[in-house]
Amino acid sequence: MASIPILEERQAQIHQKGSQPFEMDCGKHSLAGSVSQRACVFCGSRVVLYPIADALHLIHGPIGCAAYTWDIRGALSSGPELHRMSFSTDLRERDVIFGGEKKLAAALDELIDQYKPKAAFVYSTCIVGIIGDDVAAVCRQVEKAKGIPVLPVHSEGFKGTKKDGYKAACDAMAKLVGTGATDKIAPVSINILGEFNIGGEAWLIKKYYEEMGVEVVSIMTGDGRVDEIRRSHGAALNVVQCSGALTFLAEMMEETYGIPYIRASYFGIEDMATALYDVAAHFNDHAEVMARTRAIVRREVGAIMPELERIRKDLDGKRAAVYVGGAFKAFSLIKALRHLGMRVVLVGSQTGNASDYATLQDMCEDGTVILDDANPLELSKYIIEKRADLFIGGVKERPIAFKMGIGFCDHNHERKMPLAGFAGMLQFAREVHTSVTSPVWQFVPARAAAMAAGEETP
């Protein structure tokens, strides 16, 4: 189906629904020489742990790893802002030759004295794995001296994919879980896992649960606090969002503390409502929880429907392309876009697995292009071919969309407004509407020509 060159090894990562038997060859390491949109292990760990605002985050490595992750995700904190600073051992050539352990110990010593954090996370980068610094030993030694948890995060960039970084982050957090007091925690209580409070989303969601009468013991990790994580094993249920950034931790907590977990997504009306109802159903011996949940959903949906209806009139029949990190988010987006009357003509993810792609296949209509670990050339080709009006992606995809003269919505960490929750659905609709119907697209040469020829209306 392709007129652009696609390597044989990648052929099985691109499908068009209905045109051939579907078996996505996913979960592979990107090919050398690929212009993939993916990142590394360190990136995975960093995004998961970074929102813990009263912890020290020290990056043990050359300056780049610290510089590129300095305050780039708007994970909001209601209190301390320590997570927005950038701390690095800034390894130099002589450290690479003689080892960086002494420097690391000295840096931790100075930082902990200065900032008195509740805990410290020490991230290993590629170079640390190669020169063989014993980061865990340094952490143990400092922990003993300072009396706070000092946790190594084994996030050497080359040791796998971003998912392995999630796992390394969960391993580090697992050492905190179970170290705090759990008395006074109500029986109807949850932890929210995999929600990072971008644009204040965790606050929205927490409010819904609290209104239902459910105590939120901890949010991992949006607006996160060390002490909350330490007592999170006292919750009755873990609610895990996303394609699995924190699934590892939920599994570990189930095994160690017998806390069951359910999956949730907070994007779009159906998924948001389901996320609340599922929790209410779990606590079904408390009938009032379900009653309150119904009331909340009725009220919230009622509040956004009139404007959604108006927006839908403009967007009805428009076409969307979706390329996101985790496939789970794609499911929600497809449903949310359907609510706006839009058709998804391309969908892909960086890290989806076989069952994710099977689900995507079921959700999509015939002709939809489904991609795993795509490059910009493929994305642009199918977007043009499928005449998409909107592209939903992250930072690297935004200018590609704009170059092609179509609307864009950042559903990654550069969103500035909460897109989760019921109120977030309305925000999402407004963002999509603003971008898709922007008058700027009439100036795109191809469209201007089409309009002049009467083939397209603005």
Partner 1 sequence: MLLRHTPTEIKERSALTVNPAKTCQPIGAMYAALGIHGCLPHSHGSQGCYAYHRSALTRHYKEPVVAATSAFTEGASVFGGQANLVQAIDNIFTVYNPDVIAVHTTCLSETIGDDVPQIFAKAKADGKVPEGKYVLHASTPSYVGSHVTGFANMTKAMVDYFAESNGRRAKTVNLIPGYVEPSDMTEIRRIAELMGVPTIMFPDTAKVLNGPLTGKYRMFPEGGVTIEELKKSGSSVGTIAMGRTASMPAARALDAKCKVPCEILGLPLGLHGTDAFVDTLRRMAGVSVPAALNLERGQLVDSISDWHQYLYGKRVALVGDPDQVLALTRFLVALDMQPVHIITGTPAGKKYEKSLREAVAGVPADVNIKVPGDMLLFHQWIKNAPVDLIIGNTYAKYIAKDEDTPLIRYGFPIYDRLGHSYFATMGYRGALRLLEKLLDAILDRKDRDADDIDMELVM
Binding to partner 1 (CB under 8 A) within 390-409 occurs at 395-396, 398-400, 402-405
φ, ψ for residue 350 (rounded to 5)?
-80, -30
Least Å from the CB of residue 371 to partner 1: 15
Q: Could you say whether residue 86 binds partner 1 (CB under 8 A)? A: yes
Q: Could you say whether residue 81 binds partner 1 (CB under 8 A)? A: yes
Q: Could you say whether residue 34 binds partner 1 (CB under 8 A)? A: yes
Q: Could you say whether residue 439 binds partner 1 (CB under 8 A)? A: no
Q: Give the residue with the Cβ less far from partner 1, 72 or 301.
A: 72
Q: Could you say whether residue 88 binds partner 1 (CB under 8 A)? A: yes
Other CB atoms within 10 A of residue 339 CB: 17
The one segment of 65-73, 234-242, 305-313, 428-436 that binds partner 1 by CB under 8 A: 65-73
Q: Could you say whether residue 180 binds partner 1 (CB under 8 A)? A: no
Eight-class DSSP state of 289: H
Q: Which of 87, 208, 209, 283 touches partner 1 by CB under 8 A? A: 87
Structure tokens at 149: 């948890």
How many residues in the shown chain lie near partner 1 by CB under 8 A?
86
Q: Alpha-carbon distance 418 to 427, whole Å? A: 7
Determine the 3-state secondary structure of 191 from DSSP.
strand
Label residue 143 left, alpha or beta by phi (over 0 means left) and psi (-120 to 50 means alpha). alpha
Residues with Cβ within 8 Å of residue 368, at least 6 apart in sequence:
16, 17, 344, 345, 346, 347
What's CA 386's distance to the chain center, in Å? 27
**Site track for partner 1 across 281-320, x = CB under 8 A:** ----------------------------------------
Tokens 């002490």 correspond to 227
Structure tokens at 286: 């408390």
Determine the 3-state secondary structure of 423 from DSSP.
helix
Q: Which of 11, 140, 158, 254 touches partner 1 by CB under 8 A? A: 158
Least Å from the CB of residue 44 to partner 1: 9
Least Å from the CB of residue 356 to partner 1: 20
Order of strands, sheet of 407-410, starting from the edge strand that comes earlier in the sequence = 14-16, 369-372, 343-349, 319-324, 390-393, 407-410
What is the sign of the dihedral through the CA atoms of 299, 75, 37 and 122?
negative
Q: Give the residue with the Cβ less far from partner 1, 103 or 282.
A: 103
Least Å from the CB of residue 9 to partner 1: 9
Q: Could you say whether residue 189 binds partner 1 (CB under 8 A)? A: no
Residues with Cβ within 8 Å of residue 302, at least 6 apart in sequence:
none
CB-side neighbour CA atoms (13 Å) of 22: 22
Q: Which of 146, 444, 451, 456 touches partner 1 by CB under 8 A? A: 444
Q: Which of 14, 26, 127, 173 touches partner 1 by CB under 8 A? A: 127
Least Å from the CB of residue 282 to partner 1: 37
Q: Which of 52, 55, 61, 122 touches partner 1 by CB under 8 A? A: 61
Q: Could you say whether residue 377 binds partner 1 (CB under 8 A)? A: yes
